[in-house]
C-alpha cells in the first residue's frame, strides 16, 4: 500500500565528496558509501564499513551473551541425553512454529521419544497453561522444552516443578517482575547482552545450540533456514547478528535442504533461486502463520518437519492463507475508515476471527501512523492485539491495565492481551484514553536523489550488501521529483498502476485509487528491486510514498 509523506519529513541526500572518499577506502561504490554514511559510518572508519557490508556470524557469536543460565541449560540437556519422554511446548505463530520445529529436531537427535504441543489460539490462547502441564506430568515427562513463551508463566511452570519435571525455556519476550522458579530461562531479556536481545525465539534457540556445542556446527548451520524465517516473521531488528542469520538462512533455503519448504514454495509458485527477504515475508511466512491463525499451528510444524501427509498439509496451508487474506480484507475495509476518521483507536467486533486481527492491526498502524487495538470474542474472554508506531511502547500501554487483564505480553511495537467479557467495556475505554494521549514520533525519512537509469542490477546488487532489509534496517529509499508522466493500468484487477515518468517507470501497487494524488504530488519515494527471469536481470522501481505538502488530504496517510 502506497502512503503519503509530507515534504517536511523528507531529508534528501546525494552522493557527495565524503561518500566518494569513503568509497575509495572501503572500497565500494559511491552510492553504497552514501548508504553507509546514512547509517552513521564515517569516512574515518573503513573497518566498520567493511563489517557492515560483510556481517560475519563468527564475530557476533563470539561476543554473544544469552544470559546467566545458558551454560546451565546446556549441562542439563547433556545430562539427560537418552531420556525417553521429552515434550516440546511451543507457540502458534511463525516464530513459535519454527522454534518448535528446531527444538524437535535438536531433541530427536539427543533423546529417545519426543513429542510437541502447541496451544490452540482460540481454545487455550498464548502461553504455558497449568492444566496442560499437569496433563503432561500425568503421562510422564523427563524434560519439558518451552519455546517462544514461558517467561511470564509462573503458575504453569510451578506445576512442572511440583511434578519434578526439569524445564528449559527459550524465549525472547519481556519478563515480569520475577521469573518462574525452578525453570532454566534462556532469555536475553533476563540478563543477556543488547544484541542478543534482538533475537526472536528461534534465534535464541539456534544461537544457544550453536554457541553451547549442542550439535555439530554443520548440522546447526543447515537449520539456519528456520531461524531466518522466524527472524523475518517476528519483525525483530536486523542488526549485524540477525542480518547474518537471515543471509545464511536464505542460502540454506536456496540449497533446498528442507522438503516441506520446497513443497510449499512449489505450491505457491516460487522458485528456490528467487528466495530473498521480500519473498519470504510476502509469500512464505503468511502461509506458515495462517495455520495458527485459523486452525492448528501443528500443520506448519508438520510441513517444516517434512513428515507424513506433508503434501496435504502444504495444500491446507495455502488454503488457510487464502481464507485469511479474504477475512483480513473484509475487516480492514470496515476498520480502517473508522480509525482514519478518528472515531476510535480501539475497535472490537465479536464476529471477527481473532486469528487475523494482528495482521489487520499492523496494516492499519502502518497506513495511519497511529496506535490501534483490535479485539474479538474467544470463548468466554475477549482477546485483542495492539500495534503501535515509532515513539509508542505497546507494553507501557498495557501496564496500567494489567490488574484488569487476564493475560498480556509482547514487545515494544506489538502486544496481545485477554480480558473477561464483563470487564471489556471498561478496559476498552481506558485503553482508548491511553492511546489518544500517546505521541507517535514523526521521524525524518531519508531518501536519495540518484538517476534511476544508473540503478543497474550491478549497482543495486552492491547496495543489497547492506541487507537483508527489514525491521531496524529499512530498505534504502530514493526520491523522484514529479514531472511529465503517464499513468497506465497494471495487472488484471485494476488495483495497480504503472507511472511512466521522465526518468523511469515506477510500479505503484494499490496505486489506482491514488492516481489523482500521484498526478498532483511533488514526487515520490521508491525502492529498486532486482527482477530475475530466465537468467536475465532488470531493476524494477517500486513506489512507496507520495510526497505532498502539509495538510494535503488524508487518504493513504502515513509513510
- On whether residue 175 sits in a domain, the answer given is yes
What is the pLDDT, as a whole number, of residue 554?
41
Q: What is the distance of C-alpha 271 from the center of its chain?
A: 22
Give dist(CA 149, CA 128) in Å, integer: 7
- On whether residue 92 sits in a domain, the answer given is yes
CB 284, CB 266: distance < 8 Å: no
From 437, 462, 483, give the residue that closes a domain. Answer: 437
Say which residues have a Cβ less than 8 Å from residue 210's Cβ, sequence separation at least 6. Answer: 61, 217, 220, 221
What is the pLDDT, as a whole number, of residue 307?
85
Mark whether 285 and 413 lie in a shared domain. Answer: no
SS3 for 544?
A: strand
Mark whether 390 and 449 lie in a shared domain. Answer: no
Among 466, 441, 483, smallest CA distance to 527 is for 466
Residue range of the domain that includes 413? 344-437
Which CATH number is 389's domain given? 3.10.310.30
Give dist(CA 322, CA 328) in Å, integer: 10
- On whether residue 136 sits in a domain, the answer given is yes
Give dist(CA 513, CA 7) in Å, integer: 21
What is the pLDDT, as a whole number, of residue 191?
95
For every one of its 559 residues, what pLDDT tens digit does the chain have, with 9 covering 90 and above? 787 888 888 999 999 999 999 999 999 999 999 999 999 998 888 999 999 999 888 888 989 999 999 999 999 999 999 999 999 999 999 999 999 999 999 999 999 999 999 999 888 888 999 999 999 999 999 999 999 999 999 999 999 999 999 999 999 998 988 999 999 999 999 999 999 999 999 999 999 999 999 999 999 999 999 999 999 999 999 999 999 999 999 999 998 779 999 999 999 999 998 899 999 999 999 999 999 999 899 999 999 999 889 999 999 999 999 999 999 999 999 999 999 888 899 999 999 999 899 999 998 998 888 999 999 998 889 999 999 988 899 999 999 999 999 988 877 888 999 999 999 999 999 999 999 998 877 778 999 999 999 999 999 999 999 999 998 899 999 999 998 889 999 988 888 999 999 889 999 998 898 899 899 899 999 999 999 877 788 999 999 999 988 654 444 333 3
Mark whether 187 and 108 lie in a shared domain. Answer: yes
**φ, ψ for residue 377 (rounded to 5)?**
-85, 135
Mark whether 219 and 368 lie in a shared domain. Answer: no
- On whether residue 326 sits in a domain, the answer given is no
- On whether residue 50 sits in a domain, the answer given is no
Mark whether 521 and 380 lie in a shared domain. Answer: no
End-to-end alpha carbon distance in the chain: 10
Domain count, the chain: 3
What is the pLDDT, as a whole number, of residue 550?
65
Say which residues have a Cβ less than 8 Å from residue 355's Cβ, sequence separation at least 6. Answer: 121, 122, 292, 293, 294, 324
Give one word for 225, left, alpha or beta, with left for phi > 0 and alpha for psi -120 to 50. Answer: alpha
Mark whether 401 and 379 lie in a shared domain. Answer: yes
Among 4, 9, 11, 3, smallest CA distance to 552 is for 4
What is the pLDDT, as a whole number, of residue 549?
81
Mark whether 312 and 406 lie in a shared domain. Answer: no
Which CATH number is 533's domain given? 2.40.50.460
CB 507, CB 496: distance < 8 Å: yes
What is the pLDDT, as a whole number, of residue 551?
53
One DSSP character per residue, 394-414 reads HHHHHGGGGGG-SEEEE-SSE
What is the pLDDT, as a whole number, of residue 308?
86
Give dist(CA 350, CA 203) in Å, integer: 35
- On whether residue 516 sits in a domain, the answer given is yes
Mark whether 290 and 352 lie in a shared domain. Answer: no
Give dist(CA 488, CA 98) in Å, integer: 42
Give dist(CA 323, CA 273) in Å, integer: 28
Give dist(CA 296, CA 96) in Å, integer: 12
pTM of the model as a whole:
0.90
Strands, E assignment, 467-522: 478-481, 486-490, 496-501, 504-508
Mark whether 141 and 266 lie in a shared domain. Answer: yes
What is the pLDDT, as a whole number, of residue 553?
45
Give dist(CA 521, CA 548) in Å, integer: 6
SS3 for 106?
A: helix
Mark whether 266 and 403 lie in a shared domain. Answer: no
- On whether residue 480 sits in a domain, the answer given is yes
- On whether residue 67 sits in a domain, the answer given is yes
Mark whether 426 and 452 lie in a shared domain. Answer: no
Mark whether 301 and 154 lie in a shared domain. Answer: yes
What is the pLDDT, as a whole number, of residue 556?
39
SS3 for 308?
A: coil
From 406, 437, 468, give the residue that closes a domain. Answer: 437
Query: Would you give the DSSP letter of residue 548?
Result: E
Measured CA to CA in angstroms, residue 454 lies from 34, 464, 466 at distances of 15, 15, 19
Give dist(CA 3, CA 556) in Å, integer: 5
Which CATH number is 100's domain given? 3.90.1640.30
From 405, 437, 469, give the residue that closes a domain. Answer: 437
What is the pLDDT, as a whole number, of residue 189?
96
What is the pLDDT, as a whole number, of residue 372?
97
Amino acid at each position: 500500500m502506497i502512503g503519503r509523506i509530507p515534504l517536511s519529513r523528507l531529508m534528501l541526500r546525494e552522493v557527495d565528496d565524503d561518500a566518494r572518499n569513503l568509497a575509495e577506502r572501503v572500497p565500494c561504490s559511491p552510492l553504497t558509501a552514501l548508504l553507509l554514511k546514512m547509517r552513521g559510518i564515517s569516512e574515518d572508519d573503513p573497518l566498520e564499513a567493511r563489517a557492515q557490508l560483510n556481517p560475519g556470524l563468527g564475530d557476533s557469536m563470539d561476543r554473544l551473551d544469552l544470559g546467566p543460565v545458558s551454560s546451565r541449560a546446556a549441562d542439563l540437556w547433556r545430562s539427560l541425553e537418552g531420556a525417553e519422554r521429552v515434550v516440546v511446548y511451543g507457540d502458534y505463530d511463525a516464530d513459535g512454529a519454527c522454534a518448535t520445529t528446531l527444538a524437535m529436531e535438536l531433541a530427536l537427535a539427543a533423546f529417545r521419544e519426543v513429542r510437541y504441543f502447541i496451544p490452540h489460539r482460540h481454545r487455550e490462547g498464548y502461553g504455558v497453561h497449568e492444566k496442560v502441564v499437569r496433563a503432561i506430568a500425568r503421562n510422564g515427562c523427563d524434560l519439558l522444552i518451552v519455546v517462544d513463551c514461558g517467561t511470564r508463566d509462573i503458575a504453569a511452570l510451578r506445576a512442572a516443578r511440583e511434578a519434578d519435571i526439569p524445564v528449559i525455556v527459550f524465549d525472547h519476550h519481556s519478563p515480569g517482575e520475577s521469573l518462574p522458579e525452578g525453570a532454566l530461562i534462556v532469555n536475553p531479556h533476563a540478563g543477556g547482552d543488547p544484541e542478543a536481545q534482538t533475537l526472536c525465539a528461534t534465534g535464541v534457540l539456534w544461537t544457544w545450540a550453536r554457541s553451547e556445542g549442542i550439535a555439530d556446527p554443520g548440522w546447526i548451520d543447515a537449520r539456519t533456514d528456520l531461524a531466518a524465517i522466524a527472524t523475518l516473521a517476528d519483525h525483530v531488528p536486523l542488526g549485524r547478528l540477525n542480518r547474518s542469520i537471515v543471509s545464511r538462512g536464505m542460502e540454506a533455503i536456496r540449497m533446498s535442504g528442507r522438503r516441506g519448504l520446497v513443497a510449499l514454495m512449489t505450491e505457491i509458485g516460487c522458485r528456490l533461486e528467487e528466495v530473498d527477504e521480500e519473498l519470504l515475508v510476502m509469500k512464505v511466512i503468511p502461509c506458515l502463520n495462517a495455520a495458527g491463525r485459523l486452525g492448528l499451528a501443528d500443520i506448519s510444524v508438520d510441513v517444516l518437519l517434512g513428515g507424513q501427509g506433508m503434501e496435504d498439509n502444504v495444500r491446507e496451508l495455502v488454503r488457510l492463507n487464502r481464507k485469511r487474506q479474504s477475512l483480513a480484507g473484509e475487516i480492514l475495509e470496515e476498520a480502517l475508515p473508522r480509525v482514519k476518521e478518528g472515531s476510535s483507536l480501539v475497535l472490537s467486533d465479536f464476529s471477527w476471527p481473532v486469528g487475523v486481527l494482528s495482521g489487520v492491526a499492523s496494516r492499519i498502524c502502518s497506513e495511519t501512523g497511529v496506535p490501534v487495538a483490535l479485539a474479538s470474542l474467544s470463548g468466554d474472554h475477549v482477546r485483542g492485539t495492539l500495534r503501535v508506531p515509532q515513539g509508542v511502547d505497546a507494553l507501557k500501554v498495557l501496564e496500567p491495565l494489567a490488574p484488569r487483564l487476564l493475560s498480556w505480553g509482547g514487545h515494544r511495537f506489538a502486544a496481545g492481551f485477554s480480558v473477561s467479557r464483563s470487564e471489556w467495556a471498561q478496559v476498552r475505554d481506558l485503553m482508548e484514553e491511553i492511546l489518544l494521549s500517546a505521541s507517535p514520533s514523526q521521524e525524518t525519512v531519508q531518501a536519495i536523489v540518484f538517476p534511476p537509469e544508473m540503478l543497474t542490477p550491478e549497482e543495486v546488487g552492491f547496495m543489497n550488501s547492506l541487507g537483508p532489509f527489514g525491521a531496524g534496517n529499512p530498505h534504502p529509499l530514493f526520491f523522484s521529483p514529479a514531472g511529465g508522466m503517464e499513468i497506465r493500468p497494471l495487472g488484471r484487477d485494476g488495483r495497480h498502476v504503472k507511472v511512466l515518468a521522465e526518468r523511469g517507470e515506477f510500479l505503484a501497487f494499490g496505486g489506482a485509487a491514488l492516481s489523482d494524488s500521484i498526478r498532483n504530488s511533488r514526487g515520490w519515494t521508491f525502492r529498486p528491486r532486482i527482477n530475475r527471469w530466465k537468467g536475465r536481470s532488470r531493476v524494477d522501481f517500486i513506489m512507496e510514498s507520495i510526497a505532498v505538502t502539509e495538510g494535503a488530504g488524508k487518504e493513504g496517510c502515513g509513510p
